[in-house]
Structure 1
């Protein structure tokens, strides 16, 4: 390919014409963002070769750094102990492989020091993107990714330092509380006896679910009891002890129970095993999480399901739009609807009616 025969300086228009590429593709290759927008490496190499032959001034050091793709996609999450986080990990791996990337998923056990160490290690391995799932304070991790120029997305719990994708915790909790209170009323119990148990105070997901729970009461013109909300974390053992205290105080089970997570629900099941089956027949039980094995329990459970397929697909869509701006418009909060029925791309069926909603996007 001949150097530009005229005396004028070569431009990206000359390179685009010489390689049969679009102006935008040439621009992305020359400024080093081509991998981010899924331009093939062979195309990038051809554009850079043409630029050199036409005498276009290319930063050769930057070129070398930007053409070295690791082919890795990273994700950190607290653990694999419930279906939600395990589902996020599995779905992330599927999407990464479909994009020609090798997924790396690491559990951090909700330890901030481990979260930071793992993030630094993944960055040193030049992951091309990082999903940060279930981290209560993702801000320092977002800052590490931003400094390295790596797209990162906060999943499940949001942060101000990067785009975030979360479930509609408030809307889902309200819908679940409504169903439970209707069932309580049908059984002759007062709806205002519904309790909310589990989670962590001042954590986004728990706070939103409590708000949704209270919204359901407000819509009916009633109020929950002063001690109706009890946040004791997510451990099954803590839920078991909390229920034992309630049982001892009331002399019976509460009329309605909304458990804030599947692990808290496991504590309820453990406590249930110590009681007769008849003891559970007057209690309405719900859980903001989903597991198909609940259908085999000796008491009825209403479960709110989070759409892991939609959460991950929305997160990858945000990663594709990644840029280096630091204004609020660069960090949207995407809220994915929850439901009682099957979610996108899944075959399992539930007996409850499916909730209806659309993905919403706002700035953090």
Structure 2
């Protein structure tokens, strides 16, 4: 079993952060989006990964090599971003005829990974949503068989959204369907969709079951990323210790604080993730994600996403600031 993780998207909804940092490497609950995904799959026994990279792809490579030296890692560049279907097609030579698990690079879910990868059929993760028009949608019969898939339908016939997890047994059929769609220029919303290829498999006789994920954490936008951070801090049991070097400081759990941080005269938490080597003085930080090597002085931050190597001074704000920024609000 090989895992394919498409990571080539530009992450436009998280700008300005994704101008300098891949979305998958944004800190989340003391980890990164990518590390949560890789750890989950590795714990289930998968040790060979194909990372589809493009925008800022060298940062992904450096991160994987530094943090996961024991896995077998392949890096495939998608220089011309034409959709998830196109991205997966680029991995066909590495996959050969092995079974694959495709997990989108911003998809964090609670589910039984081992049960999915050991299933006798292809499997697609789904979750009920209020408005499925922004998602791939699965039509499912009473036996959990998927009968039809459609990408972002204007009039959905189901409210079961695809969460971005696909276990494929019939890999040869998947790549044949992708080849046909790409050669014939069959696009949905301007892209070669993995949803269209999977629906092609079903029409050609593939047996595909749906499985429901317990939780689905949205990492695509600032507001939902902060909500996911709060939930995952509780899930991982994150609890930073109050150390002597945190002079005159109160920590309100859950909090994750990186290595080498200097914190004094401050209140941190709840639901705060602080990156490595960050300095916080005379400040209050809650419900926020702060990047590494940042400096906060005399500031109150709530519901904020702050990039790495950033300096902020003065007043109360809800901020969304990218890397390498120096702001004086005094």
TM-score by length of structure 1 reads: 0.30
Larger helix proportion, structure 1 or 2?
Answer: 1
TM-score by length of structure 2 reads: 0.32
Larger strand proportion, structure 1 or 2?
Answer: 2
